[in-house]
Structure 1
Amino acid sequence: MAPRTDEKRARNEAVVRALLRRQRRTFTAEAGIRLRNTPAPLYQALVLAVLLSARIKADIAVAAARALFDAGMRTPKSMAEASWQQRVDALGKGGYRRYDERTATMLGTGAELVLERYAGDLRRLRDEPDPKKALMDTPGIGPTGADIFLRAVQGVWPEFAPYIDGKALDGARRLGLPASPPKLGGLAGDREVSRLADGLVHAALDGSLADDVLATAGAG
């Protein structure tokens, strides 16, 4: 390997390390989701994807997800059985007030869809011919929401890894990292690729964070 290539890789590794120090946990972990390939946490990741899809700050979406889960709405059955007002109240407690009424309706309808189509078990989604397209049948989940969900679950659904979506690639470009999912996955390692992807999204959305990461890495 040429010295110039060695220097570039060392620079990229330093940037990734600095970014991962800033992004200590994934969005799912911040929402209190212990992600495993089992029905409840997979459904919780879907709920979080719905909340993160709105034009609202990520920390508010995460807080709203935690409030829903704390109120007992951790499965499609419990979400569907909760009243619309209970969902609105939980969203409001999490600070998700701008879209609370519409989102409460979407979460109820989406829970019913998961129950009817997948018997409450999103592992069955993996059998769909196009899982991303199937995800977008869920109310509140468009292309962005589907990306958020698949970005989150790639650690337990390895066939999707490394899943670095368009917004994360924008962050990679801002940090001068290769805009290539396989190359980024190689820099992070299998266990950290979800956290790296979330960090790259943060870098895409927050220029000051990106600048701090570059300064820390000595790559500004």
Structure 2
Amino acid sequence: MAEGPSKTVRDRAERLLAAGGETYAHEAGIRLRDKPSPLYQLLVLSTLLSARITAHIAVDAAREIFTAGWRTPRAVADASWQELVDALGRAHYRRYDESTATALHEGAELLIDRWHGDLRRLRKEAGGDPARIRQLLQEFPRIGPVGAEIFCREAQGEWEELCPAFDRRALDGAEKNGLPKDPDRLAASVAPQDVPRLAAALVRSTL
């Protein structure tokens, strides 16, 4: 029987949760559930976070998009390119605003055409294989390996086959904070429902 995490490890993990354990999805106003609209909103957020831009600006840009009512792929596809550019600009998402507006439009159309607007169909196509989920996510514009990891890190509470999902930055945070870098041991340091929050807290600790 594997030995559980020490009290020191659990205490360190709990301190991290208390200090910065809000997921980026929650910060962006996404009530994440295994349903089409919130999963799509997480995809939008992952797209925004994939650019070389600070996380808080990306989160603010997501909020601007959702506040405008663009919470589904159909809504984003129907919005004008200029409307998306303007929303990104209000959040100071500069330099990448025009290319990101294009990526969001194209990504919405891809999701509608291939998976009928429902990322759960992408999950089904992947057959429960986390590597395949990551591969399929990278078919969306602007979503590369980093963006796919961001999506999986945040979605692992809803798609259990992704757990544990700690990307390179989260594992760097684990090392910095004296926590195990092994994903399974790291996940075991908190309650199962807190694993996505721990991943977010670890990322924040590196910023």
| Maintained 8 Å contact 2:175/2:181 | yes
Runs of 4+ in 1 over 6 A off after TM superposition: none
- 5+ residue gaps, structure 2, are 127-131
Rounded to whole Å, the distance in 2 between the matches of 1:184 and 1:24 is 15
Structure 1 position 121, deviation (Å): 0.3
Map of 1:28 onto structure 2: 25
2:10 is aligned to: 13
- Is 1:126 aligned to 2:123, yes or no? yes
One-letter identity of the residue aligned with 2:163: A
For 1:145 and 1:195, the matched residues in 2 are separated by 18
What percentage of aligned pairs have identical amino acids?
51
Aligned to 1:89: 86
Among 164, 169, 172, the residue aligned to 1:170 = 172
Q: CA deviation at 1:45?
A: 0.2
Aligned partner of residue 69 in structure 2, secondary structure: coil
- Rounded to whole Å, the distance in 2 between the matches of 1:178 and 1:38 is 33
Q: How far is 1:98 from its partner?
A: 2.2
Cα deviation digits, residues 79-135 of structure 1 (max 9, x gap): 000000000011111121221011000000000000011000000111233111010
Tell me which residue corresponds to 2:61. Answer: 64
Match of 2:159 in 1: 157
Q: Deviations over 1:152-204 (max 9, x none)?
A: 11111111111112211111011111001111111112111001001111122
Q: Structure 2 residue aligned with 1:50, among 47, 51, 59?
A: 47
Partner in structure 2 of residue 39 of structure 1 = 36
Unmatched 5+ stretches in structure 1: 207-220
> Could you tell me how far apart the structure 1 residues matched to 2:7 and 2:93 are?
41
Give, as a single letter, the amino acid of the residue that structure 1 aligns with 2:136. Answer: A
Query: So what's the TM-score if we normalise by structure 1?
Result: 0.88
* Partners of 2:168 and 2:106 in 1: CA distance: 28
Distance across 2 between alignment mates of 1:40 and 1:63: 19
* Map of 1:214 onto structure 2: none
Higher helix share: 1
Taking structure 2 as the reference length, what is the TM-score of the superposition?
0.93
Correspondence for 2:76 among 56, 79, 93: 79
Partner of 2:144: 142
C-alpha distance in 1 between matches for 2:195 and 2:15: 14
- Aligned twin of 2:104: 107
Partner Cα separation in structure 2 for residue 173 and residue 199 of structure 1? 13
Take 1:160 and 1:198, find their aligned partners in 2: how far apart are those partners?
A: 15
- Count of aligned positions: 200
Q: Is the 8 Å Cα contact of residues 45 and 59 (structure 2) preserved in structure 1?
A: yes
Larger Rg: 1
